[in-house]
Structure 1
């Protein structure tokens, strides 16, 4: 807490120290703890499916490859229009990890050989739902149909008291023009904005129900989605 009587230079130093301490504890050290916990879930000859680009998931896989003698293969699933999976693919291949790259419409073809799914999260809601990059819920749903365990890596600072059951009540809208595919310099939906009967919806996130997630790996350990309210209560007590 900063009081009005504190001189400005000292207040700035204290504020900077508080921010640095938060970043170190809640992000840097949390990522290390999650990476170490995830080691226990990666077995020899595993085939791990990842989606998009999660810095936490990428670090976990790279650490598992360099710090253990386990051999595993990664299937990187990507989707348009952002194609973030390409960055994941570059990072993993740079570390010498064997990878396969597919688009999201092909997951039903690769899931029979997958041993586990490892996903990142934008937020973990109070009802246990996982808010993440759009397409995550589709992957979790298909994985459930194939009896493939879905593991979510998420720091506890992303735990949120908000409750949400769908992707339409609250979401972030991206540029609809990003959905337009250009081939040979021509856009197939050129001039779509002039058509009153056509609208392009480019959602950034979706919400995955808790029953589609088997385990959440956090800096406090491995917990089910139903334990989110408990973690939130503990955080509120610590902040008082």
Structure 2
């Protein structure tokens, strides 16, 4: 069974503090949206899907403790809190997308709800449904990814390289790219998975390693700078990574280091796949050039767990994400199936129609 990093029961939300992993397993309570904003910004919870789920669930918890004089007042509060949560980490689209969907739904409930409590219950129900849907989407995505990779390998076990952390710690449960790894392992069709340390925050060496060991999956850690040599000397079936945002032309924003892996994979003729649910699709950007890239504190580069490793006074540039052009991506693995980057725009339009129908 994969790890549980988010525990939610009506008026109680608890998350696994990822800052302390892998040395300490501590759960912390989030009682309101301020707690969630802080946890997201500090990266006590991280991964685009998990950020969105935790942010929205914190609002559900908070709404159960608040009283409002009217539906209009409650709607204003919900929309304001959602805008606030988006500011914690702006690059990943999932929280922005969830905020938009919930805000539109909440505004629509102002004229249709019989009471403030009825409106509140409907908003909370929608948030809880998002959580369930994300877990189900991860399982479907992983099934499609495993099927595709095994078809490419004629049923033979595959060897993969992945980057950052895209498993249970980064999602509502199971995972995206790491979910595909899990699905292959469950079928006994995973030969081996290599994974990068993912500097400077070490999500690979701290978090992916923690998950892979927990699930007893055959895996090997490599430094980020070893990826090209790994492709040269090991018989990789594919590189598979997660996604923080996919825009209209198929460009992908993901954890820093993804772009260079895609370039190296292209040179070595190794398929490069990205795995994402519909909530990572973003119709508001035509290309990746317009995506706002979060820049983090220099201390993440100059220190490791509080121990300085860089010379004092050195300048630092610390973008948390980079953009991989569509032409370097072999295919996008989703809960709806496999798409080429050129098919992303069509899929985006379908997703938008589904969301509006849902509202």
SS at match of 1:81: coil
Match of 1:103 in 2: 223
The structure richer in helix per residue is: 2
Offset of 1:187 from its aligned partner?
Answer: 4.9
Runs (5+) with no aligned partner, structure 1: 193-198
Correspondent of 1:50 among 162, 179, 192? 162
Match of 2:189 in 1: 70
> Matches of residues 141-220 of structure 1 in structure 2 within 5 Å?
141-161=263-283, 162-166=285-289, 170-181=292-303, 187-192=309-314, 199-220=315-336
Aligned mates of 2:352, 2:157 — CA distance in 1: 41
Match of 2:143 in 1: 36
1:116-170, Cα deviation, whole Å (9 max, x unpaired): 1111000111111010001000001000000000111110111002133448x62
Aligned mates of 1:131, 1:102 — CA distance in 2: 22
Aligned mates of 1:187, 1:75 — CA distance in 2: 26
User: Quick one: structure 1 residues 131 and 186, their matched pair in 2 at CA, closer, same or farther if it must change by over 3 Å?
Assistant: closer
1:170-212, Cα deviation, whole Å (9 max, x unpaired): 2101111221147xx66533134xxxxxx42100110000111
Cα-Cα RMSD = 2.2
Match of 1:122 in 2: 244
Aligned residue pairs, count: 231
Aligned partners of 1:58 and 1:91 also within 8 Å: no
Aligned mates of 1:93, 1:122 — CA distance in 2: 25
Offset of 1:109 from its aligned partner?
Answer: 1.3
Runs (5+) with no aligned partner, structure 2: 1-107, 168-175
Match of 1:196 in 2: none
Runs of 4+ in 1 over 6 A off after TM superposition: none
Q: Whose relative contact order is higher, 1 or 2, with alpha carbons under 8 Å and at least 6 apart? A: 1
Match of 2:212 in 1: 92
Aligned mates of 1:58, 1:93 — CA distance in 2: 13
TM-score of the two chains, using structure 1 as the length reference: 0.88
